[in-house]
Chains A and B, each alone.
Chain A
Amino acid sequence: MIRLEHLTYTYPGAASPALSNISLDLPDGQLILLIGPSGAGKSTLLRCLNGLAPHFSGGAISGVVRVNGYDPVAATPRVLSQHVGFVFQDPEAQFVTDRVEDEIAFALENAAMAPAAMRVRVEETLDLLDLTPLRDRPLKQLSGGERQRVAIAAALALRPSILVLDEPTSQLDPKSAEDVLNALVRLNHDLGLTVILAEHRLERVLPYVDSIIYLPDDGSPVIFDDARAVMKQVELTPPLVTVGKRLGWQPLPLTIKEGLRFSRPWLTEQRQRDSVRPRHRHRFVRTGAPYLQARRVKVRYGAQEVLRGVDLEVWPGEIVVLMGRNGAGKTTLLRSLVGLVRPQAGDIYVNGRPNKEREVADICRQVGYLPQDPNTLLFAESVGKELEVTLRNHGVERGNWRLEISDQETEQFSDSVSGVNLQSPITQAPAFPITSLLKRLNLLDKADAYPRDLSVGERQRVALAAITVTQPGALLLDEPTRGLDYAAKRTLEQLLHGWRNDGMAILVVTHDVELAAAIADRVILMSQGEIIAEGEPSEVMATSPLFAPQIAKLFPETGWLTADDVSGVK
């Protein structure tokens, strides 16, 4: 039983409160989803439940918090650890030991539980999350999903009645994420454990959720209600719910099964009226040569063949999405395109020039590469400085940084992206307009901000700015939607479309099916170091059980992939 009354919390040194005047009454035994735009204070709210805020973070708290009758502020997190288990975003960052069993025993050792009782408890906890086969394994040998399950087990060792999880799947691939979510559902169903879960991947969790807390970031009151009722009121909805709302389906479907009940008759009716139109396709003509080209590329790490003769071409003006299970060789392919991995056999050409004997730094002037964790890119003290550093690295003279430019030059900028002139020496390079790039990325008002203080989405855009300021002809992105909410994802999609239309060659590696559906002009599927399928997104993705987006499942044989394809019918 959790009760919040007029909870207001301000971080130390912050001008405005992170949470203001929040009142909630959360019943026992439910699987509760916490959603809201990033920056609305979801993590902070969760940390108030076990006293981490204010005990760990400092700051000022007012109002009433009651968890199982305890006041977390007065009782300290140590006492609350018996009632609230807490699981964090990054499974690696929360491990104290290096073995599965020891990790689970850690909390029990601290609570000075008698060794005999502890033995039993660890055994039970292992069973609870199906970890018995992994009990002796070192944590570093486990997959992401297994690690997160260990983290959940460790949080449950003290047998709390409430389990709180802060975006536990945002660092995981879809398969691992599903394992973790299934484990949570089972705990909730079998033990009646109250589960409170902050999560961005609504399309995955929605079927299992009892109720939803919506935490807005604009000062409007927090909503807590039955899942369907909340989905009706908010904008952050998965494609299925978006379509359901647009077509006025009642009651609003939350699962594909529920949705098919509406979509089948609707589709039949549309077909009779002959008003089913194919999805709008971005028309693009391949001109000239491919910007990125890989020929029979082979990479092996030790005895393991990661890439077995991959051929790949990416033309200017197209977005290619590369999908496949973990370990299929996707990231290795990206890394070999920029020279971070040197293939044992085969050739790679960037804009016609072979990669061999070129430095990574040199290749990256022509190919922007965004690694999985954009934080590793950022180090300067302001957003503007980040861009300047890249330019200086590439040896562009200060005189060529045009900080203030006219609209006319903005147009020139977009032109220059499409036709990067590589013959011209660096000193004669076109002006590098920092301001227009920041404007394009919607970061102009953040130019003086410290990059690491920004939100996940903003930080990613800063990293993007830092790698595209040299106006590369190609852009490679590795899992760009990790930790992004729907709004940030939408912004990213628009950005990529803009660059694509300007003539950039874009290659995206992602597990995010909905992102692929929204942006791909061409989809490539990889498995075991080989390309196994390639073509139109609607052909490649629609039938695959693992990679079909919600809309493709809802409207089979239409070739539709996103909610916007469906409304095109009207």
Chain B
Amino acid sequence: MNDSLHAQGARFRLPRPLHPLAWASWLAAIVMLLTLTRNPLYLGMTLGAIALVRWRWVSAADEAEQVLSLSPWRFGLIVVTTAAIFNMAMVRVGMTVIFTLPAWIPLFGGAWTLEALLYGALNGLALTGLFAGFTVINRVVPVRALLRLIPRAFYPVAVVISIAVTFAPTTLQQIQQIREAQAVRGHRLRGVRSWLPLAVPLLEGGLERSLQLAEAMVARGFASGSERTERWPQLLVLAGFATVVVGWLLQLVWKQPMWGGGLLVVGAATLLFGLWRAGRHHPHTVYRPEVWRTRDWLVTAGALLVMAAYLLPVFDRNTIFYYPYPALSWPGFDWRIGMAMLGLLTPALG
């Protein structure tokens, strides 16, 4: 079965990989857009861009492999319908009444309006876009690549996370195995206590596997702590973090922008220096580090352009905040923002 899937994958030529940071900026732009705007025109453009990027990057083989997980289409269908119905049932505002239920029915009684339906559906669309954006990232950026963005000082943490990522699916598989093995022994699942026979082999098995893995890592020269540890870089990190928090509080809560800003800068510098020092005590190198190419610049620039168009007060920002109440109206559209949004398409190029 695998072979046929690979054959399909080979026919469908995927673009050359992008740097994980470039993908991160793309995702940031998507998230920002979808949280800010409810303008159906902008929403539609964003969803279209995501769909195009997804079509370009997620091959049919990848798609088929994910038998269990939800496809964005199905997710969208469910979320948009439920959000629309829920919003209609909850919100009584709006001029265009579709139908009216008798007022004595709790919760559902009253006028159901087209405006509420539309606004609910728009919220559902935004959620669908977020989901689809994350599924794209999930498929195209390997976990390893994301982990490499973790600073060197936290190398042991990165290793632990990378193991956890591979550990979770195995554990799920094991739960299934154990459940079957217990059914074979006449075990029927009833009540909480009947789960005990599943827990013991699972925990024991999990523990055994972790010990085995730890042993294998030691045998391959992995050491969680370095031989000569120095305390002060760690203290530096801690102090830097504390200073940043205090500076932030000063700025926001006690309205001391000068002092706060100063502390923020000093704290951040201390933090970075501490991380750098601590990192030097975990000598390790990276195999085939991700290369930053021209296309990565392009994607990042595209994402920044979109964010700038939305956040900076240059263009007509009123078109972003579309609100259908009290009566339906045509959403506004600034063609310059629309043009800027084409920046979201940059990952689909090449």
Contact = CB atoms under 8 A, between A and B. Distances in A.
B287 A56 contact: no
Contact of A81 (B188, B219, B289): B219
**Interface residue range, chain B:** 35 or more
Contacts of B169: 140
Contacts of A373: 177
Interface in A421-455: 452
A338 interface: yes
Interface residues of A, number: 69
B219 A340 contact: no
Contacts of A93: 209, 212-213, 216
A70 interface: no
Contacts of A466: 185
B145 to A, nearest CB: 10
Interface string B267-289: 00000000000000001111111
Given A86-B219, A155-B220, A371-B180, A112 B283 contact: yes
A101 B212 CA distance: 21
Contacts of A141: 2
Given A78-B223, A93-B209, A56 B215 contact: yes
B166 interface: yes
Main secondary structure on chain B at its contact with chain A?
helix
A101 B288 contact: yes
Interface string B158-187: 010011011001100010011011111111
A227 interface: no
B205 A375 contact: yes
A94 B213 contact: yes
Given A52-B218, A93-B213, A112 B285 contact: yes
Contacts of A92: 170
B197 interface: yes
B186 A470 contact: yes
B223 A393 contact: no
Interface stretch (A287-295, A359-367, A485-493, A542-550): A359-367
A92 B177 CA distance: 16
Interface string B132-156: 0000000000111000000000000
B200 interface: yes
Given A99-B144, A109-B285, A115-B287, A364 B184 contact: yes
Interface string B216-239: 111111110000000000000000
Given A96-B213, A109-B284, A118-B285, A376 B178 contact: yes
B67 interface: yes
B144 A94 contact: no
A397 to B, nearest CB: 14
Interface string B1-36: 110000000000000000000000000000000000
23 contacts: A56-B218, A81-B220, A84-B219, A86-B220, A94-B212, A96-B162, A96-B163, A99-B144, A102-B144, A106-B222, A108-B287, A110-B220, A157-B220, A303-B1, A304-B1, A361-B185, A361-B187, A373-B177, A375-B201, A376-B178, A376-B180, A377-B182, A379-B201
3 tightest Cβ-Cβ pairs between the two chains A and B: A105-B287, A393-B186, A81-B221
Interface of B: 1-2, 67, 142-144, 159, 162-163, 165-166, 169-170, 174, 177-178, 180-188, 196-197, 200-201, 204-205, 209, 212-223, 283-289
